[in-house]
Structure 1
Amino acid sequence: MSVPDSFSPVVVTPVSASTLPWLGSDQKYHVSYDLQLTNASRLPATLTSVQVVDAKQPDTVLASLSGGQLVDPSCTYGECNLLRMLPDANATDTVMPPGQSRALLVDLTFDTLKQAPAAVAHRLSLTGQAAPPATQPTPISYLAAPFDISAGKPLVIAPPLKGTNWVAANGCCGIGGAHRPALNSLNGKLTNGQRFAIDWLKLTDSGAFYSGDKTKNESYAGYGQAIYAVADGTVSSTLDTVDAGTPGILPANDPVLGPKLTIENVDGNHIIQDLGGGVWAMYAHLIKGSLLVKPGDKVKKGQKIADLGNTGNSSGPHLHFQLMDNPSLLQADAVPYVFDGFTYEGQVSYPAWLASDAYESGTYFQGKLPTGQPRTDALPLALAIVDFPS
C-alpha cells in the first residue's frame, strides 16, 4: 500500500526485513517484529497509541497498543513496556523529545493463518508538531510504515536436544525474558538477532533445575546433555576456548568478569551452522572441549555436535539457540522457525520464574499438564515445558 500524504513528525522504520507468521505451542499463529520511532520534528512528540492495521483495509485494526502496553513501570512480564529506550531499556514515559528515537516491539496473534493479512501498516496517534509552521504540540494521527508479514513459511527444523522436561526460557514473546527486547546497535544499524532465541534449561523429574550443590555445573539437569544439528548444513565458525563459568554469577554483572567479555566470547563456546537459503543456526554456551565439529565440516540433521555447558555470559547451564540471517552476530537479524515435533507439557509460571534466585532454585511443575499434548511444526513459547523425541 501507499500511505496517504501527511506531515509525520515521528518517522517509523521497521528494524528488520519482511517477516512471516509461525505457529506457537499455544496453537495460535504469531508475527513478531520491531519498529524504530524517531521524532524528526522540532517539538516534543507524546505517543498516545499505535494501531496495527491491515495494509489493504486500514480500518481493520489488528492490534492497538496504548497505556501500560507502551509504558508500565509496575509490570515485569507480559504485553507491557513495549516502548523501549534504545537499545533495549524500558521507556520511562511516552514522550519523545526532538531528535530522539524509541523502539516498539510488535507481537501479533491470530487464531488461524487466514486471519493474518499479507501486510500491515501502523496508525500513530500522538500529540506533536502537526505541521511545519506549528509552534505548539497538538493531537495528530497518521498511517506509516507498510510492512510485509507474508514472506513465505517458517523454516521447519529438528530440535537441538532430546529427552524430557526442557524449558523454553527467555523465549518469544512479550516482556519478561532477555531475548525478545534484545535490540542492539551493531555495525551501524539497529538489530535484533535474538527475537526468536530460546535458552533451553532442563528440569529434573522432581521439577527442579538442579540437585545437590547449586554452585557446581554438574548439579544441573541440563549440564553435559548432547546437542544435535537441527538440519543438514555446513559449519561456518566455532569457538572452543572459553572456560566454564560458575552457576549464579552472570559475568556481565560482575566487576571482574564483565570487562573480560567481548563480542567474540560473550556467547561462550559456540557453533554457527550454515543451513542454506540465507539462514544460519547458532548453538551457544557449550562445554569447552566438547565440540565435535570444526569450520567447513558437513553435518547431518540429528548428528551430535557438542555438549550443553555454561560458558560466556551465562549464569547457569543452558543452550542458547537461534536462527539468523547472517553468520555474523553483528549483522544478523532473527529468523522465525518451528520444530518438526515435540510434546507440550505445560508452562512454568512467570511469577515463579521471576521471583526465583540467581540459581533458579525451587520447583516448577505447578503448571505441568496431566497429559502432554503433541505439537507439529510449532515453536515453544516462553517458559513452555516440552519433551523432545529421544
Structure 2
Amino acid sequence: DAFGGRYAIDLVPVDARGRSGPIGWRTLLATEDPTGFAGWGRPVAAPVGGVVALVHDGEPDARVRRSPLAYPGFALTQAARARRGLPGLAGNCVVIDVGAGGPFVLVAHLRNGSVGVRPGERVAAGQPIGVCGNSGNSTQPHVHLQVSDSLDWTTARGLPLAFTAYRTESGIVREAVPDEAQVIESA
C-alpha cells in the first residue's frame, strides 16, 4: 500500500478513436511531446467537496514514454522520484480533506503552473482545480486519483473509492469503479 495508493485509479483521457495520443515512429522508438495527447491541458475538477489540505506546483512536465526503448531510462529514475516523496511521485497535485482530518483525496500529475487552489480553500465537487499534465511519476498525460487515511504518505493506507455515476457505451453506471482499461465519461 505504498503512499496510500492501493485503490488508486489512473484516468487517461482518450480521443474519439480511443487513443491517448498520436501513433508515430516516436511511439515505438523515442520519447514524445505531451502537448499532442488527448489529456494535455484538459480541465481537472475536484472529484469531491472539502477543504484543500495540500497543494504542490512547480514540477516540470516530462516527455511521454510509451516506447519500450524510452521506458528503461524512466524506470531507472523511479527510486530517485520515490525518495523525493509526494513531489517526485504525484508531481503537481491537490489533496482535498473530505472530513475534519480525512479521508484525503489526492489528484495528481497536473500540469506545471496550473494548480488553481490554495491550502485552506473550500472547494466544491466539480470546481476546477488545475489541468491535466505529465508531472511526477507519469509516463503520459493522465490524472491519478486516490483516497487515503493520512497525509503522512509513508504510513498512509489506501481507501476504496467509487464514482457516483459515469457513462459507458452500455449506459450510465452508478456507485461503482470502472473496469481496468474501460472507457468512461461523466454522466
Q: What range is the shorter-chain TM-score in?
A: 0.7 to 0.9
Matched, 1:259 2:80: yes
Q: CA deviation at 1:341?
A: 1.0
Q: CA deviation at 1:381?
A: 2.3
What is the root-mean-square deviation in Å for CA atoms of aligned residues?
A: 2.1
Q: CA deviation at 1:382?
A: 1.6
TM-score by length of 2: 0.84
Matched residue SS, 2:119:
coil
Tell me the alpha carbon deviations over residues 269-308 of structure 1, each in whole angstroms, 9 at most, x when there is no partner: 1111101163110000110110000111111111000101
In structure 2, the gaps of 5 or more residues are none
Q: Distance in 2 between matches of 1:259 and 1:233?
A: 32
Q: Which has the higher helix share?
A: 2
Q: Distance in 2 between matches of 1:325 and 1:259?
A: 25
Match of 2:93 among 235, 245, 270: 270
Tell which structure's C-alpha radius of gyration is larger.
1
Q: Distance in 2 between matches of 1:312 and 1:339?
A: 25
Q: Taking every aligned residue pair, what percent have the same amino acid on both sides?
A: 27
Q: Distance in 1 between matches of 2:60 and 2:79?
A: 15
Q: Distance in 2 between matches of 1:208 and 1:260?
A: 27
- Give the match for residue 146 of structure 2: 322
In structure 1, the gaps of 5 or more residues are 1-182, 185-191, 346-371
TM-score by length of 1: 0.42
Is 2:8–2:145's contact at 8 Å kept on the other side of the alignment? yes
- Give the match for residue 203 of structure 1: 14
Matched, 1:229 2:40: no
Is 2:115–2:131's contact at 8 Å kept on the other side of the alignment? yes
Higher RCO, 1 vs 2 (CA within 8 Å, ≥6 residues apart): 2
Q: CA deviation at 1:258?
A: 5.5
Moved over 2 A (4+): 211-214, 249-252, 257-261
Q: Distance in 2 between matches of 1:334 and 1:264?
A: 15
Mapping of residues 133-212 of structure 1, within 5 Å: 183-184=1-2, 193-211=4-22
Q: Distance in 2 between matches of 1:318 and 1:343?
A: 19
Mapping of residues 91-170 of structure 1, within 5 Å: none
* Equivalent residue pairs, number: 173
Matched, 1:382 2:180: yes
Q: Which has the higher strand share?
A: 1
